[in-house]
A and B are shown apart, each in its own frame.
Chain A
Amino acid sequence: MRGRDVICILDFKRSELERLFRIASTRFEGDELRGKVVALAFFEPSTRTRLSFETAVLRLGGGYIGFSSAEGTSIQKGESFSDTIRMLDAYADAIVVRHRIEGAAKLAAELAEAPVINAGDGSKRHPTQAMIDLYTVWREKGSVDGLTYGVLGDLRYGRAARSFILSLTLFNPKRVYLIAPKGLEPKQELLERLKLDYELTDLSVLPELDVLYVTRIQKERFPDPAEYERVKGSYKVDLKLLEDAKGGLMILHPLPRVDEIDPEVDRTEHAFYFKQAANGVPVRMALLQEVIG
């Protein structure tokens, strides 16, 4: 994967992801990035993704430059995204980009000679999150294949859910249930890409699930605030719901959560979302090591 851009999870083959998972499962520190500089260009704020990239760089002995929002940078003075990327390309060995505009990472990859890693652009792509999600399942269950998945929440505007659903097409899940409140169902265009056994349904399928992937409703991506108010709080994973769950059910969530998972669930054997968040570091270490190490 040396020198390669990471734009969309579907740019990867299953074998490449599994290689990444094997590296991630043994990586806690190293010096593969010694003398290397990674640019963290967060045009849109993010806590978890940015901090885990920073940690991954530091744990591999590298350094980073960058910004954590467009505010206070020359972008605010009217500099184009393209010019900012060209500048970072001159300074860094790799560029990690997060932007609210869709296709920004792809454009950056065309402009920059250094490899570009998409840390989320708009409401569509978030490949490193999908890698972490898959890795968490792979690590705990031994395989991504053969399991029954439920993906719950905003399947229309949520890029993490979208990337996760698409990433499952690289594997052989037994079944994928898509569970969305009215108005937040996945777009037809996404469904047409799903070459797997899927069904649009509701939470009544819970007893069948091996993995339940929960996402938050993305307030910031709602065109209409009244619509947000209407669907907000329309689903909640709590102890009562989990009475019907299988013993080994894993609950994942890309975080941050608002109120879609009751904090009481955190104490159950089903809660894997903090482990999933922790996996952000080794997976991103493995990726950085593969791309520029």
Chain B
Amino acid sequence: MNEKKLIVSKIANGTVIDHIPAGKALKVLKILGITGEEGYRVALVMNVASDRLGRKDIVKVEDRFLSKEEVDRIALIAPTATINIIRDYKVVEKREVELPDVIEGIVKCINPNCVTNQPREHVKPRFKVLSKKPVKLECHYCGEVMGEGEIAP
């Protein structure tokens, strides 16, 4: 069976997240809060050949569209991803994920002594994006810099 066939059938309406770095598809599903119990029809393809990435993962979800916050979170762990919106079997929109210059609320600061990690203060974490590829974030409050391995969206 060639890999073309493995990439399962087309979906009618929904979202195809392509060019996910190999091995990150499950993390993408986690960000979307998809466990399988919600009833969405989901196709997951992992470690297939890609001209651009060598190997890549793909996630297809029927009847599910992404919020901006979800796209930002995907950008954090899969900066190469492209998002295709499908309506009536056709790609109606195709865009690359891109981290905004500032991200708010979706990542926790890794510094336990940071004011954003003090429950009594109710401070929403905020980060300046120092670098997009590789991802590097600087905490707006305490100045801690986090690299790719330290970011848990």
Contact = CB atoms under 8 A, between A and B. Distances in A.
Interface string B111-149: 101111010111100000000000000011111110000
Interface range on chain A (Cβ under 8 Å from partner):
10 to 19
A98 interface: no
B121 A102 contact: no
B115 A107 contact: yes
A125 B121 contact: no
A18 B142 CA distance: 26
Contact of B142 (A82, A103, A192): A103
A104 interface: yes
Contact of B116 (A103, A122, A189): A103
Interface in A86-127: 100-104, 106-107, 122-125
A106 B145 contact: no
A106 B138 CA distance: 14
Given A81-B121, A82-B121, A101 B143 contact: no
Contact of A125 (B120, B122, B143, B145): B143
Nearest to B125: A103
A80 interface: yes
A102 B114 contact: yes
A104 B141 CA distance: 7
Given A107-B115, A122-B113, A123-B113, A102 B120 contact: no
Contact of B123 (A107, A122, A123): A107
A14 to B, nearest CB: 20
A80 to B, nearest CB: 5
A261 interface: no
Contact of A103 (B114, B120, B122, B145): B114
B104 to A, nearest CB: 13
A217 to B, nearest CB: 18
A102 B145 contact: no
Contact of B144 (A80, A101, A189, A192): A189
Q: Which 7 pairs between the two chains have the least Cβ-Cβ distance?
A: A103-B141, A102-B142, A103-B142, A103-B115, A189-B145, A106-B141, A80-B120
Given A80-B122, A82-B122, 8 more contacts: A101-B113, A101-B114, A101-B115, A102-B144, A104-B115, A106-B142, A107-B123, A189-B145
19 contacts: A8-B143, A78-B120, A80-B120, A80-B121, A81-B118, A82-B122, A102-B114, A103-B114, A103-B116, A103-B141, A103-B142, A104-B115, A107-B115, A107-B123, A107-B141, A122-B113, A124-B142, A124-B143, A189-B145
